Amino acid sequence: MPAAADSSAFSDALARLRRGGAPDLVARAGVERTRRVTPPHRHPEGQLFGATRGVLTVGTDAGLWVVPASHAVWVPPHERHSLRSHGPFDGASVYVAESACADLPRAACAIRCSGLLREAVARAATWDVRVPDAARRRIAGLILDEIRAAPREGLGLPLPCDPRLMKIARALLEDLSDARGLDDWAAHGALSARTLSRRFVDETGFTFADWRQRARLMRAIELLATGTPVTTIALSLGYDNVSAFIAMFRRAHGVTPARFLAARE
């Protein structure tokens, strides 16, 4: 995550956390004006990614989450994950000691950020963790309580495990304008259309058509965050006309693409 604090100070704080230093978490906040890409990695802490402006994409081996400013993504300890920002981005990240993660979500998920969680994280990001005190322990406990209680949000895109389905999913994510039908995609994965339909639901919880639409919606949010015109987004996702794309987006999110990001800041 972007950081305003000195990198060596943050590294020292993380090392202290791993040695069992109090409080049970370390937060850092910052601003990015250019696209940020963090390759897949893992660490012993749980991590909460959140934005106050802009959009993040967080990926794990199990799925992808595209997160606007009103939400955050929780990744449990030791889970491999990656990060991309899209356009200008202000945000914060919280690293939670593994010992404090026992009753936090066991799988990566998107949560809705309360105002209380947002302000508590902002406060924690200003701490010098070398001088823990009772007030800081209480705020750390509040952050953990808010993560624990936050409503889970369906902003993710589950990825299948079957290598044949993953081959299809990765090809679609590479080119979401690809309009091939179920039979053609089944041939691409070397399985029958019936097996593709059945196993896609079993492994992702979505029909193939619904999964593809969800992927297109998530890509649309990423592109909106970079300032890409709505017409360009619609065409890049395989829509013949912008009206059909806007109608689909409004059905899913309740607002037009042009109003989506503003409605969440």
Q: What is the pLDDT of residues 140-172, one digit of tens each?
A: 999 999 999 998 887 789 999 999 999 999 999
Sign of CA dihedral 260, 82, 77, 90: negative
* Residue 183 placed within a domain: yes
Show the low-confidence residues of the chain (pLDDT under 70). 1-6, 21-22, 129-132, 263-265
Number of domains present in the structure of the chain? 2
Q: Which two tokens stand for residue 181?
A: 């039908």
Query: Which of 113, 131, 153 is the endpoint of a domain?
Result: 153
* Predicted model pTM: 0.83
Query: Which of 106, 129, 153 is the endpoint of a domain?
Result: 153
* Residue 1 placed within a domain: no
Q: Are residues 191 and 258 in the same domain?
A: yes
Residue among 139, 32, 135, 126 nearest 87 (CA): 32
Domain holding 92: CATH number? 2.60.120.810
Domain holding 246: CATH number? 1.10.10.60
pLDDT at 120: 95
Residue among 74, 97, 105 nearest 26 (CA): 97
With left for phi above 0 and alpha for psi between -120 and 50, is residue 12 left, alpha or beta? alpha
Q: Which two tokens stand for residue 212?
A: 């593809």
Q: Under a CB-based contact definition with an 8 Å cutoff, are residues 196 and 165 in contact?
A: yes
Query: Which of 153, 179, 199 is the endpoint of a domain?
Result: 153
CA–CA gap between residue 165 and residue 224 (Å, rounded):
28
Its domain, for residue 124, covers 7-153
Q: Which residue has the tokens 């924690």?
A: 124
Q: Are residues 88 and 211 in the same domain?
A: no
Q: Which residue has the tokens 């179920």?
A: 182
* Residue 2 placed within a domain: no
* Residue 112 placed within a domain: yes
Sign of CA dihedral 183, 61, 257, 206: positive
Residue among 82, 25, 33 nearest 53 (CA): 33
pLDDT at 140: 93
Q: Are residues 212 and 82 in the same domain?
A: no
User: 10-42 burial, b for 16+ CB within 10 Å, e for fewer?
Assistant: beebbeebeeebebbbbbbbbebeeebeeeeee
Nearest-Å Rg of the Cα atoms of the chain is 20
pLDDT at 22: 66
Residues 69-92: tens digit of each pLDDT: 778 999 999 999 999 888 778 889
Of the chain, the end-to-end C-alpha distance in Å amounts to: 19
